[in-house]
Amino acid sequence: MILVVGATGVLGSKTCKELLEKGQQVRAMVRASTNQDSIDALKKLGAEIAVADLKDPASVKTACQGVEAVVSTATSVSRPSESNNFDSVDQQGQLNLVALAKESSVKHFVYISFPEFQGTFPLQSAKRAVEAALRTSGMDYTILQAPHFQESWLVAPTGINPETNAMLTFGGGKGKISWIAIDDVCKAISASLNAPKARNRTLQIGGTEALSQNDIIVRCETLAGRPLKREDMPQEQLDTMFSSGDPMMMTFSGLMSVCVEEGCEVDNSEAEKILGFRPRPIKDHLAQLVASLPAS
């Protein structure tokens, strides 16, 4: 039995589907407030449902009972609230999960993170704390570090906007990133559960090419056969977001700043050797983006 934490998120729900299609038993952890349609969709796939909340250790302990492995994709980034935030979910909630999984004799913990970026911001601090806890937990672990997701960062509001026929860049958009498809992350998760050499390893996974936002625009212009509008969020605006003191603004500033010059180029050679990881080319996703744009 594999417990998927964050099962109603985009990555979590696709991970459940991937594992179930491969014949794995999946227990999907959902909160009591989860939309019933989302729960029904997981049940239809064949998942067992566990109602629990990372902020409620007792419920998490129950969810971990009889589980061989835990896959945690949970984050407060997409659905923040006063009670669901980087401290309560991404850091303390995940730390509780690590401790309770260990206490429940879970054999393997797969954690989704990202490579270390420049600067200190709340989500990065939470990721590093959980990674450190896993490395000293005594459980077998696999930490998968993936850069920016294509489906999240290359569409509006942070990428190409079909309504304006424009692409947003950050600080000039010169940083080259190995943008990765969410489906490829799911495949890496699935492979890591059955790869003995993935145990007690931190593996970086990324797309086949490292492209800057400017490179993305040029590729899309070639596919579309016409120029695209360009909009840029200057470094000064990113700095203002970071200095706001708001954890969400600070985190998005930190993640956006990767696009400025720093970039995040990933070498997949280790992941390919251990997991057989072969990501799809980004051209397929860019073709879909261009197809979504108005004709003129």
Assess if residue 271 is contained within a domain.
no
| pLDDT at residue number 97 | 97
Residue pair 252/158 in contact (Cβ under 8 Å)? The answer is: no
> Listing from the earlier edge strand, what are the strands of the sheet with 166-170?
160-161, 166-170, 229-233
The residue-averaged pLDDT of 55-74 equals 97
125 and 41 in a common domain: yes
Shared domain for 221 and 162, answered yes or no, is yes
* Alpha carbon distance 205, 113 (integer Å): 10
- Select from 127, 145, 163 the last residue of a domain: 145
85 vs 139, residue with greater confidence: 139
Counting beta carbons within 10 angstroms of the beta carbon of residue 5, is it exposed (0 to 12), middle (13 to 18) or buried (19 or more)? buried
Pair (154, 113) in one structural domain:
no
pLDDT of residue 294: 80
Query: Could you give the C-alpha distances from 129 to 64, 71, 72, 92, 181, in angstroms and in order?
Result: 21, 17, 14, 9, 26
Q: Which two tokens stand for residue 252?
A: 């998005």
Judge whether residue 163 has pLDDT over 70. Answer: yes
Determine the pLDDT at residue 287: 94
Is the overall model pTM greater than 0.75, yes or no? yes
Predicted confidence band of residue 293 (pLDDT cuts 50, 70, 90)? confident
**Residues 159 and 89 grouped into a single domain:** no
Taking all residues of the chain, what is their mean pLDDT, rounded to a whole number?
Answer: 94
pLDDT given at position 296:
64
- For residues 212 and 99, state if they share a domain: no
Report the Cα–Cα distance between both ends of the chain, in Å, rounded: 51
Average the pLDDT over 242-255 and give the result.
Answer: 95
Asked whether residue 134 falls in the same domain as residue 11, the answer is yes
Cα separation of 91 and 93, whole Å? 6
For 113, the domain range is 2-145
Q: Quick count: other Cβ atoms within 10 Å of Cβ 33?
A: 10
Question: Tokens at residue 84, please?
Answer: 């669901």
Give me the pLDDT at residue 81, please: 67
Q: How many domains does the chain have?
A: 2
46 and 116 both lie in a single domain: yes
- What confidence score (pLDDT) does residue 80 get? 63
Q: Is the dihedral of CA 124, 35, 179, 165 positive or negative?
A: negative
| 151/141 same-domain check | no
pLDDT over 80 at 72, yes or no: yes
Tell me the CB-side half-sphere exposure of residue 150, using CA atoms within 13 A. Answer: 26
Judging by DSSP bridges, how do beta strands 140-145 and 48-51 pair with one another?
unpaired
Short-list 230, 202, 206, 217, CA closest to 150: 206
Q: Which two tokens stand for residue 136?
A: 């000293």
Mean of pLDDT values over 156-166: 88
Q: Is pLDDT of 253 > 80?
A: yes
pLDDT confidence bin for 82, thresholds 50/70/90: low
| Whether residue 114 sits in one domain with residue 27 | yes
Q: How far is CA 70 from CA 57, 62, 107, 134, 187, in A?
A: 15, 13, 8, 12, 16
CATH of residue 21's domain is 3.40.50.720
Condensed to tens digits (0 to 9), the pLDDT of residues 87-116 reads 999 999 999 999 999 999 999 999 999 999
Work out the pLDDT band at 252, boundaries 50, 70, 90.
very high
Query: What's 222's domain CATH number?
Result: 3.90.25.10
Q: Are residues 74 and 45 in the same domain?
A: yes
pLDDT in tens, 17-43: 999 999 999 999 999 988 999 999 999
Asked whether the beta carbons of 115 and 264 are under 8 A apart, the reply is yes
Burial of 23 (0-12, 13-18, 19+ CB in 10 A): exposed
Question: Are the CB atoms for 88 and 119 separated by under 8 Å?
Answer: no
77 and 211 part of one domain? no
* Cα–Cα distances in angstroms (integers) from residue 255 to residues 64, 74, 132, 185, in the given order: 32, 18, 21, 18
Return all residues near 147 (Cβ < 8 A) that are at least 6 apart. Answer: 114, 115, 177, 178, 179, 180, 206, 207, 258, 264, 266
Whether the per-residue pLDDT at 209 is higher than 70: the answer is yes
154 and 136: one domain? no
Q: How confident is the model at residue 78 (pLDDT cuts 50, 70, 90)?
A: confident
Is a pLDDT exceeding 90 seen at residue 76?
no
- Beta carbons of 250 and 242 less than 8 angstroms apart: yes
